[in-house]
């Protein structure tokens, strides 16, 4: 027992980094390049963050997506009919998302995508109400936008993008890769339109992607928990019936 305790103490007596060798660093750089890339990104954005001037309260928010879609914004501003057509097509795409997500539950009996969408939209409502971002300058609304037309809506985060991600992930689980790629491409076009019309900030779209992935994962965990709980209840019920039958058989 004393020898085991001494060995345990010795294994933790030296910090891990003192055991690193040159070949370990080479192995990390060659086989784990993604964390290394993120480490470089951390250092880069630390330098950017501490040298960048803050946007003053009197100025509109700085958005790189708005800069990238400036030409599209001017085009839609000068062509209201084109803006309406693109809004209608975007509404059709949102309808496709809803039909697929609901159909996965009502027709195929797979509720995960529907549960994920319920989680996502509830969280979006809470966050959107908690921090109500100002409407971007130059917003180009349309009466055929879904689901709100020209009335108020939450900016953070994009339910359009998150819903598309949820549907795409479900398609990949079901090996519908072509349909999933189609939804991904349409989602990119949707994101470009939302930026071009100033209907969302870039952060709304980025968080929408993350939210779709997150709530799909949470819905999966909820399904696993529900199934394990059901199996446990069924097992307890079977054991109870067996014990009751055994007692009745014994005189």
Return the structure tokens found at 212: 């779709």
Contact yes or no for 157/207 (Cβ under 8 A):
yes
Whole-model pTM: value is: 0.81
> Is 179 part of a structural domain of the chain?
yes
Same domain, 113 and 142: yes
> Is 2 part of a structural domain of the chain?
no
Same domain, 79 and 151: yes
Which residue is catalytic, options 73, 145, 160, 216? 160
Same domain, 204 and 156: yes
> Is 128 part of a structural domain of the chain?
yes
Same domain, 142 and 39: no
**How crowded is the C-beta side of 112, counted as CA atoms within 13 Å?**
24
Which residue is catalytic, options 204, 216, 236, 237? 204
**Residue 187 pLDDT > 70, yes or no?**
yes
Q: Look up the domain containing 23 and give its range.
A: 17-52
99-128: average pLDDT: 96
**CB contact set of 22 (below 8 Å; sequence gap of 6+):** none
User: Residue 2's pLDDT is what?
Assistant: 55
Which residue is catalytic, options 200, 216, 237, 244? 200
Same domain, 189 and 73: yes
Same domain, 77 and 44: no
The reply to whether 204 belongs to the active site is yes
* pLDDT band for position 133 (cuts 50, 70, 90): confident
Tally of structural domains, the chain: 2
Same domain, 97 and 39: no
* pLDDT band for position 151 (cuts 50, 70, 90): low
More confident residue, 251 or 145: 145
User: Residue 6's pLDDT is what?
Assistant: 54
Same domain, 181 and 215: yes
The reply to whether 145 belongs to the active site is no
Contact yes or no for 219/115 (Cβ under 8 A):
yes
Query: How do residues 3-38 score in pLDDT, each as one tens digit?
Result: 555 555 555 677 887 888 888 888 888 889 999 999
The reply to whether 160 belongs to the active site is yes
Mean pLDDT score of the chain: 88
Query: How do residues 39-60 score in pLDDT, each as one tens digit?
Result: 999 999 999 989 988 889 888 8
Query: How do residues 162-171 score in pLDDT, each as one tens digit?
Result: 999 999 999 9
């Amino acid at each position: 027992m004393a020898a085991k305790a001494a060995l345990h103490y010795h294994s933790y007596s030296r910090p891990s980094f003192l055991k690193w060798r040159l070949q370990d660093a080479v192995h990390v750089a060659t086989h784990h390049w993604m964390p290394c890339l993120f480490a470089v990104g951390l250092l880069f954005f630390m330098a950017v963050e501490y040298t960048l001037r803050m946007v003053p309260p009197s100025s509109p928010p700085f958005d790189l997506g708005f800069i990238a879609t400036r030409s599209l914004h001017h085009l839609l501003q000068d062509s209201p009919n084109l803006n309406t057509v693109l809004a209608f097509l975007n509404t059709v795409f949102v309808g496709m998302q809803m039909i697929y997500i609901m159909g996965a539950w009502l027709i195929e009996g797979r509720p995960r995508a529907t549960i994920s969408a319920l989680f996502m939209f509830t969280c979006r409502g809470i966050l959107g109400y908690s921090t109500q971002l100002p409407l971007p300058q130059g917003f180009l609304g349309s009466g055929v936008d879904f689901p709100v037309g020209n009335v108020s809506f939450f900016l953070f985060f994009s339910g359009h993008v998150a819903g598309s991600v949820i549907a795409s992930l479900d398609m990949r689980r079901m090996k519908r890769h072509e349909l999933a790629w189609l939804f991904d491409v349409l989602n990119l076009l949707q994101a470009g339109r939302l930026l071009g019309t100033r209907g969302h900030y870039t952060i709304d779209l980025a968080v929408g992607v993350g939210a779709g992935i997150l709530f799909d994962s949470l819905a999966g965990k909820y399904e696993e928990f529900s199934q394990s709980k059901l199996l446990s209840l069924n097992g307890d019920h079977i054991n109870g019936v067996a014990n009751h039958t055994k007692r009745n058989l014994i005189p």
